[in-house]
Structure 1
């Protein structure tokens, strides 16, 4: 079998998710997290092209939202590209990040952590059952 290089693989992932965003199957979609900003930024020209192709947008996230939806180490200290169609969806993502900061500052994170993870899952267009399953089976909560 022919080997697929990492750059091509990541571009394929972004193209697939971008088409899903355009079709309305996902409100937002995440590229795979990159360990450095430089690695993430090498994909920007490709992201720009697929956004034109699918008539969507992208957002560079240098401080990803960490929730109980995914293992903390998956996105902690990483860099990401988020694809979206509707400006309200990326604004909701930014609002969730601000909410998390606020509830941590107010020492209320335990009270809101499920809600934040749930709302993040909904932004990713996951079903209630999938969100619940991801949270329950996440053995690496922050």
Structure 2
């Protein structure tokens, strides 16, 4: 079997997610998280090309939203690229991050954390049943 280098693999994932966003299967999609901004920066020329090709946009997220949807360590202290087609979607994502911050500051996060995970899952285009499965199977939830 032909070996696929890491750069090409990541570009393939980004291409696939952009096609899904364009087709309306996902309101937004996340690239695999990067450990440093420099690591992410290498992909920006490809990101610009692929988003233009599909008519999508991208957002560089330096503080990804951590929810019970995914293991906390997957996105904690990482740098991400979010692909989207509708400006309203990225604004909902930013508002969700603020909602979480305010809930933590007001000591209300425990009461709404599952709701935040569901809202995030909906932005990613996941069906309700899959969101619940992701939450139930996540054994590495963020601690507060």
Q: Give the TM bin, normalised by the shorter chain.
A: over 0.9
What is the aligned-residue RMSD (CA, Å)?
0.4
- Name the count of aligned residue pairs: 142
1:80 is matched with 80
Runs of 4+ in 1 over 2 A off after TM superposition: none
* TM-score normalised by structure 1 residue count: 0.99
1:24 is matched with 24
1:43 is matched with 43
* TM-score normalised by structure 2 residue count: 0.98
Q: Distance in 1 between matches of 2:99 and 2:41?
A: 27
- Structure 2: stretches of 5+ with no match in the other structure: none
Q: Distance in 1 between matches of 2:42 and 2:26?
A: 24
1:66 is matched with 66
Q: Distance in 1 between matches of 2:40 and 2:66?
A: 18
Shift of 1:41: 1.1
2:129 is matched with 129
1:13 is matched with 13
Deviations 1:33-88 (CA, angstroms, capped at 9, x unpaired): 00111001111110100111000100000000000000000000000000000000
- Structure 1: stretches of 5+ with no match in the other structure: none
Question: Per the alignment, in what secondary structure is the counterpart of residue 64 of structure 1?
Answer: coil
Q: Distance in 1 between matches of 2:99 and 2:14?
A: 27
